[in-house]
Amino acid sequence: MNKTALVIGATKGIGKSLTERLLCEGYSVIMTYATDNETADSVFSSLSLRFPDHVFLLQADSSDWSSIDRIVSFVDEHHMMLDVMVFNAGSTDRSPFLSINPESWMQVFMVNVHFPTFLLQKIYPYISHGGNVVFTGSLMAIQPHSLSLAYGVTKAAVHALVKNLVKFLMEKQVRVNAVAPGFVDTEWQKNKPDEIRHNITRKVAAGRFCDPEELTDVYMLLINNHYMNGEIVVCDGGYSYQ
C-alpha cells in the first residue's frame, strides 16, 4: 500500500536526500520549501520524472504563521493521511551575543520550535494511527559549540519537545523521535569559509563531513523501528573524540 510523507524543508540538503530515499522506498512525498523557487522547481521536475504522481511541491515558509493553514489545506484537499511527518527546516542567527536583536531571536524560535509545534497540532488529525514524526535536531543542542546562541537553544528545545510529545501522541500510537546530525555537507556548511570547515573536520574522528545520503539511514531507522520513541539519535562521525 502506498504511504505518504510530508517533509518540511525538502528541496535541498538533508531534506532533499530524505525525500529521494522515501520515494525510493515507495512513499508519496509532499515537499515544502521557503524561498528558492528555482531550485525547488528543478528538484521537483527531476523527481517527478523518476517518480511520476508521487511527488508534491508546496511553497510554505516556516517563518510565516499562514503557512500552517496552507499546508493543512493542501493535505485536506488531496484527501491525504500522513504516515510520516518530518520537521527538517531550520533557521539560525550568528550575531554575536551583544548584537542579537529580539526580532532575529524570535525568527529562529519561530522556524525551529513554534512553527513545528503548531503545525503538528493542526496536522495531527491527518496523521495515521501508528504513524510517526521525526524532527531534525542538532549535535549543537547537546554540545553547545554553536556560533549561534539562538540555534543551540532552539535545537535543545526541539530535543525537549520530542521527549515531551511522546505521551501526547501515544493515544494514536504515533511515535516521535529526532535525528541530531553533527556536520553535514549541505549548503548550510558549504557556505562556511575553508578555515572554519577545516577546524570542524579536525575535530571529527571520521575526518570529514557527513554525506546527506548516509544520514537518511538514521531517519529510516526511526521511521521503520516501531519500538523507537522519544529518542534523539546523534550521528556525528565521532565529533570531539580526537
Which residues of the shown chain bind ligand NAP in the complex (CB under 6 A)? 9-15, 32-36, 39, 61-63, 88-91, 111, 136, 138, 181, 183-184, 186-189
Write down the residue that cell numbers 500510537 correspond to.
173
Query: What is the side-by-side strand order in the sheet with 27-33?
Result: 55-59, 27-33, 3-8, 82-87, 127-136, 175-181, 232-235
Q: How far is the CB of 172 from ligand NAP (least distance, A)?
A: 25
The residue (of 121 and 173) whose beta carbon lies closer to ligand NAP is 121
**Cα–Cα distance measured from residue 13 to residue 15, given in angstroms and rounded to the nearest whole number:** 6
**Cα–Cα distance measured from residue 192 to residue 215, given in angstroms and rounded to the nearest whole number:** 20
The residue (of 48 and 189) whose beta carbon lies closer to ligand NAP is 189
Q: How far is the CB of 163 from ligand NAP (least distance, A)?
A: 18
The residue (of 70 and 172) whose beta carbon lies closer to ligand NAP is 70
The residue (of 45 and 173) whose beta carbon lies closer to ligand NAP is 45
Q: How far is the CB of 237 from ligand NAP (least distance, A)?
A: 11
Of 32, 28, 219, which Cα lies nearest the Cα of 116?
A: 32
Q: How far is the CB of 200 from ligand NAP (least distance, A)?
A: 9
